[in-house]
């Protein structure tokens, strides 16, 4: 049985951050977009992008091979 990409991404992202209740994941086409609490983007990205890359790898491995899934971080815009 293959896993839903949004649910898996949400679970993995919540496992990494300090405020898991504020994590949101949604589907936009073939991309799963993750939003975390302000200031926690770095925890999701990890050193040199290792955490987000590991999440991408796990999500791709757990979903249907015919379904090409990408995971992106929805970072706040502006400054």
pLDDT at 1: 43
CATH of 5-73, one of 3.30.70, 1.10.287, 3.40.50, 1.10.10: 3.30.70
What are the extents of the domains in the chain? 5-73
State the pTM of this model: 0.88
pLDDT beyond 50 at 77: yes
Percent of the chain with pLDDT strictly greater than 70: 91
Q: What percent of the chain has pLDDT over 90?
A: 78
Task: Please check whether residue 27 is in contact with residue 6, taking contact to mean a CB–CB distance below 8 angstroms.
Answer: yes
């Amino acid at each position: 049985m293959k896993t839903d990409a949004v649910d898996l991404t949400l679970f993995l992202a919540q496992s990494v951050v300090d405020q898991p209740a504020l994590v949101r994941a949604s589907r936009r086409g073939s991309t799963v977009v993750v939003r975390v609490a302000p200031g926690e983007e770095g925890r999701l990205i990890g050193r040199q992008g290792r955490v987000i890359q590991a999440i991408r790898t796990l999500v791709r491995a757990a979903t249907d091979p015919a379904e090409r899934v990408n995971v992106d971080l929805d970072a706040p815009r502006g400054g």
